[in-house]
Chain A
Amino acid sequence: MFGTKNISKAFGGAVALADVSFSVEPGEIHCLAGENGSGKSTLIKIMSGVETADSGSIVLNGEEFRSLSPREAVAHGVQVIFQDFSLIPNLTVAENIALSTDVLERRKLVNPKRNREIAQKALDRMGVSMDLDATVQSIPVSSKQLVAIARALNQGVKILFMDEATTALTRKEIDHLFGIVHGLRDRGVATVFVSHKLDEVQEIAQRITILRNGSVTAEGDIKDFDRKAIARAMTGQEVNEVRLAPAVPDNAPTVLEVDSISSPGRFRDVSFSVKAGEVVGITGLLGSGRSEIAEALFGMTKIHSGTVSVNGTPISFTGPRSAVAAGIGYVPQDRLTQGLFLHQPIAKNVLAAAIERFVGPLGFVKAKSIRETVTNWISDLKIKTTDPQNPATSLSGGNQQRVVLAKWLAMSPSVLILNGPTVGVDIGSKRDILEIIRQKALDGMAVVIVSDDIPEIVQIANRVLIVHQGETGAEFEGAAIEETSLYKELAA
């Protein structure tokens, strides 16, 4: 058995884990669920020897440990695959798999031939073929993940933690990954998925442990849980996935008009329109072109033919600036690199897009009205912070996403485009964010939401467009928007 017994850990005064026990058997696929800040990462860090628990013990293969060094953890078969895979981009596939063995054996010289053999063996065991001499930066994300798994295998993994393993994968790649995880299971490796995507977790895991505020709130056979029960254990409250889609008045004017736009290699002949107060969902598989369409509407991807107009005025895109000038706001998928100035204060982030509205006639910014606006947005969007002058890095994922939202809402756009607005955001925050979007739509904003999260689309959208290989296909409206038919259409 692997796991923890009565682990507690506090950082300063804040309790991260309180009396947490969980266990995984060899050959089991387990899911560790919990919102951001529930203690999942701390638990993984303690099991992999990065942090030391204040009390309690770690159990590896039946053996109990008070504390562990990272090296000992590896020696006992603990491996963690982080979201970034911790690979070295300029080295080859073979080296990325084999070098950690060389390090562990304290070798002074490297033998490329031996490293290739080691790597080949690990990949063979997974039933995967790959060019061993390709540098890791030249291979696709899904292959990078396989390299990380191969490395773990090579180091004698007995319990494998995978942090948000499926976020960047297409459905086909996810199936492939699950196949490999099943292979690991047959070899007696225990796999722990740490994930926000509940439907995927339910597909692969046998058992689940749910954390909230550092304590285990539920555990057991995954068959005994439905999505609602998991959500309840994670948030501590009843989470209703009722439809939030606002009713659109018949006489609402059309705000965004997209007329057969094309961009070779990305999307073809895409047309749709959005009325004031309407929420239009665009969904499709990873690589279908859904993200590219969102970026094109914000001037980040070149449109080769077709027109986009806002309130009847066609826009000639020269970049995001022209989109902003036309009244389009964009909440990007990758908020860490595209949406936030991470090390700048929250207040400055909130005003980053709207700052021109606060410049007086002499070119000075109006400090007082800025302060008021920031305070308003922070309370409006329930951003949890003690001081708006704290850097954006001090916030949890859900709160960071609210700051990105606030940034665009502060410039009062007539069209708001959201690309994966709740990726990596926990259920509680997700609910709040969708509620904010609904409010803004009720105020008359036209909203386009691009997402692969079907339950989310079902909850919020008035109308749903499905993108297949760069072309818009089926369209759903009103009561026709429900999960099973959307999934079916996606898989088609």
Chain B
Amino acid sequence: MSYITPLSQRKGLQLFGSPNELFLLGAIVVLSLVIGLNNSVFFSIATPFDLLRSSLIEILFALGLLIVLVSGGIDISFPIIGIFAGYTTVVIMLRFELDTYSLIIPLILAAIVGAILGSINALLIAGFGLPTLIATLGTAGMFRGFLLSYVGSVYIANIPLGLDEFSTADLLSVETSAGTLARLHVLVIPILILAIALAWMMRRTMFGRTIFAIGGNEESARRMGMNVRWTKARIYMLVGAISGVAGILYVSLQRKADPYDLAGTELEIIAAVVLGGASIMGGYGTVTGTILGVLLINLIKDNLILLGVPGSWQRAAVGLMLLIGVIAQAVADKRRMKQTVTVAEEDSQ
């Protein structure tokens, strides 16, 4: 009996993990060329720096969402958790006059607030077994209402100094030919480290493999002796904490705490993660793909105007990207099914 491996499974020279990631990279390059040829302002060191800056926070949110998608769930409460944690942290820092120059204190505070909110999701999803879409839709509304009625609904312009100054902490700045400064924010380093750590976690820890296993077949994971409930609980707490950190960093980069911010950005993040190759059915997704997905979406969003498309089309464009991502997955799934069948037939003859 022979066992035939489909072509897509064979190992070869692979710079990036999958054809999807290569495709995204290609799309980014081609799109950049098109935009640049239309408008030479684009070919400047300021462009990648600005793109990174506008993508950093989204990458953080997207990495959290990636974990949820791989486990076969969905979370739409994460932007609300983010702004809830960010805004509440600022309020606490101001109210209790905590060290205004500190960066560590607000980061830890926001992570804790995020994890607490995430544990409410965890309780509903892992504890009571609610469907993830409904559970997080409900908590998103609840968290938002609670934030606006009990924590505050006013815009805070004077955020603590540490956070304020961090917004201009540059890793390097280059003078462009136009005479302006192109800045690369220092956050790229910690976010890169975090991304590598998450990729390692997903690949090399039992927690990570259990997440993939649950996304592949929850019942089988249970029968293999994996603790499905506890893993799910940890996923939503972890995602809460990541969202909290993303929220406070967002406040810092914006240099203001506005409780009305971020709501509605879930569309963009979900689109980015799905475009990055994470399966909406669970079981598949990579960190590299997710980051490329965010970069591609931001590239398109930021440069629609340069391409002559009115800015009001931004949201439509993002929605379209989400649909393209889902359709690409459906097509790939179909092809995979066909492949399996052919292999089975070859095998039986």
Given contacts A103-B224, A103-B225, contact A173 B5 (CB under 8 A): no
> Which residue in A70, A99, A176 is a CB contact (below 8 Å) of B213?
A99
Say whether A218 faces chain B, with CB atoms less than 8 Å apart: no
Contact string against B for A residues 91-131, beta-carbon threshold 8 Å, 1 for contact and 0 otherwise: 10001000110111001111110000000000000000111
State A102–B224 Cα separation when bound (angstroms): 10
Q: Which residues of A contact B1 (CB under 8 A)?
A: 142, 172-173, 176
Given contacts A90-B212, A100-B225, A108-B206, contact A138 B5 (CB under 8 A): yes
Q: Which segment, of A38-46, A81-89, A428-436, faces chain B?
A: A81-89
- Contact count A vs B, C-beta below 8 Å: 105
Say whether B11 faces chain A, with CB atoms less than 8 Å apart: yes
**A89 and B226 form a contact (CB under 8 A):** no
Say whether A477 faces chain B, with CB atoms less than 8 Å apart: no
Instruction: With both chains docked as a complex, state the minimum distance between the C-beta of A118 and any C-beta of chain B, in angstroms.
Output: 14
Say whether B219 faces chain A, with CB atoms less than 8 Å apart: yes
Say whether B102 faces chain A, with CB atoms less than 8 Å apart: no
Given contacts A74-B225, A91-B212, A104-B225, contact A110 B217 (CB under 8 A): no
Q: Which residues of B contact A247 (CB under 8 A)?
A: none
**B224 and A86 form a contact (CB under 8 A):** yes
**B9 and A140 form a contact (CB under 8 A):** no
State A54–B209 Cα separation when bound (angstroms): 37
In chain B between 289 and 318, which residues have their CB closer than 8 angstroms to a CB of chain A? Answer: none
**B9 and A133 form a contact (CB under 8 A):** yes
Interface size class of B (residues with CB under 8 A): 35 or more
- CB nearest neighbor in B for A50: B223
> Which residue in B6, B9, B204, B343 is a CB contact (below 8 Å) of A110?
B204
> Which residue in A70, A112, A139, A469 is a CB contact (below 8 Å) of B3?
A139
Say whether B216 faces chain A, with CB atoms less than 8 Å apart: yes
B-side interface mostly: helix
> Which residue in A74, A86, A109, A133 is a CB contact (below 8 Å) of B219?
A86
State A99–B207 Cα separation when bound (angstroms): 12
Instruction: With both chains docked as a complex, state the minimum distance between the C-beta of B265 and any C-beta of chain A, in angstroms.
Output: 29
Residue count of chain A within 8 Å CB distance of chain B:
43
In chain B between 207 and 232, which residues have their CB closer than 8 angstroms to a CB of chain A? Answer: 207-209, 212-213, 215-217, 219-221, 223-226
State A79–B217 Cα separation when bound (angstroms): 19
Say whether B348 faces chain A, with CB atoms less than 8 Å apart: yes
State A104–B205 Cα separation when bound (angstroms): 15
Say whether B166 faces chain A, with CB atoms less than 8 Å apart: no
- CB nearest neighbor in B for A171: B348
> Which residue in A74, A84, A90, A173 is a CB contact (below 8 Å) of B283?
A90
**A95 and B206 form a contact (CB under 8 A):** no
Say whether A134 faces chain B, with CB atoms less than 8 Å apart: yes
State A104–B226 Cα separation when bound (angstroms): 9
Q: Which residues of B contact A338 (CB under 8 A)?
A: none
Task: Show 26 residue pairs from A and B whose CB-CB distance is below 8 angstroms, ordered by the A residue.
Answer: A74-B225, A86-B217, A86-B220, A89-B216, A90-B215, A91-B213, A95-B209, A103-B206, A107-B206, A108-B205, A108-B206, A108-B207, A109-B206, A110-B205, A110-B209, A134-B9, A138-B6, A138-B340, A139-B343, A140-B347, A142-B1, A143-B347, A172-B348, A173-B348, A287-B349, A469-B349
Closest 10 A/B residue pairs (Cβ): A90-B283, A140-B344, A90-B216, A287-B348, A88-B216, A86-B220, A103-B225, A86-B223, A131-B5, A100-B224
10 additional contacts, CB 8 Å, given A108-B205, A108-B206? A99-B209, A99-B213, A102-B209, A110-B205, A138-B340, A139-B340, A142-B1, A170-B348, A172-B1, A287-B349
